[in-house]
């Protein structure tokens, strides 16, 4: 089973309606003969430019309603469960499957405190230049959760 065939199936499934979370999508793909890891599926979702909606993943290239990115405050309020600081790093725990939208929202803000982000399934790592900026960003994110 090729990557192209797998991604075509994902697009076909997305045309039928929003896709479930990544774990459920992995199960659907496996039943259709495409066993994949969550990491592979995450890369496919990124390459296909699917967007996460409240209903699940959807096509973003005109096949789904085109909406601006939600405000970072909304994304943080809805998905972030915990913000922990370790020196100049912030570890953000999110609901399952929500780390990438949180990282995208943070990246899109262009905050000078953020050097970069790395997102998994339910964890975002935010790198800041120093401890002072990490504390400042932690306070900002925690205030959004309140």
Which residue pairs from 44-50 have beta carbons closer than 8 angstroms and sit at least 24 positions apart in sequence? Answer: 44/3, 44/6, 44/7, 44/10, 45/10, 45/100, 46/100, 47/7, 48/7, 48/10, 48/11, 48/14, 50/10, 50/14, 50/19
pLDDT in tens, 99-141: 988 998 898 888 999 999 999 999 999 999 999 999 999 999 9
CATH class, range 3-59: mainly alpha
**pTM of the full structure:** 0.55
Percent of the chain past pLDDT 70, that is, above it, reads 92
Domain ranges of the chain: 3-59, 72-145
> Architecture of domain 72-145 in CATH?
2-Layer Sandwich (3.30)
């Amino acid at each position: 089973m090729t990557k192209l065939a797998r991604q075509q199936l994902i697009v076909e499934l997305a045309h039928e309606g929003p896709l479930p979370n990544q774990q459920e999508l992995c199960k659907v793909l496996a039943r259709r003969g495409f066993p994949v890891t969550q990491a592979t599926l995450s890369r496919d979702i990124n390459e296909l430019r699917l967007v996460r909606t409240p209903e699940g993943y959807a096509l973003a290239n005109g096949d789904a309603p085109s909406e601006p990115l939600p405000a970072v405050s909304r994304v943080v309020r809805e998905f972030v469960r915990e913000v922990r600081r370790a020196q100049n790093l912030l570890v953000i725990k999110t609901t399952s499957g929500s780390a990438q939208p949180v990282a995208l929202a943070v990246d899109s803000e262009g905050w000078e405190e953020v050097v970069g982000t790395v997102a998994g399934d339910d964890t975002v790592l935010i790198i800041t230049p120093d401890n002072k900026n990490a504390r400042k960003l932690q306070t900002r994110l925690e205030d959004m959760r309140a």
